[in-house]
Amino acid sequence: MNCAGILSAARDCVLRDRAATHGRAENGFAAIAQIWDALDRARGDRPRDAADVALYLAGLKLVRAATNPAHTDNWIDLAGYAACGGEIATQDWPGVEETIWPEGRVA
């Protein structure tokens, strides 16, 4: 795909009735900003890392799911960001081991 095709596809995504799926952009962006501000406060002075990015992207999907709970893409992406973030956050921690729950779940 060339630049013109990419820009045309982006135009279609932005200009079609995205509000029907995600709500008004300014409302969603404002809610996302509030979640990201809360994550910044919770993180404190610790530098943002890759696991934090998963949290911020999950915040985006939380807002989208609140706007349109029936849009399954939001729930799938939310679960994916949580799984990726959890893996990233625990991969370099000594002593963190997987726990097998009686039901066969891994935690």
How confident is the model at residue 107, as a pLDDT? 52
What is the per-residue pLDDT across 51-70, written as a single tens digit (0 to 9) for each?
A: 999 999 999 999 999 999 99
Q: Are 79 and 85 in contact (CB under 8 A)?
A: no
- C-alpha 94/C-alpha 104 separation (Å) is 23
How confident is the model at residue 100, as a pLDDT? 56
Q: Which DSSP string do the residues of 29-46 spell out, in sequence order? A: HHHHHHHHHHHHHHHTTS
With a CB cutoff of 8 Å and minimum separation 6, the contacts of 13 are: none
Burial class of 23 by CB neighbour count within 10 A (0 to 12, 13 to 18, 19+): middle
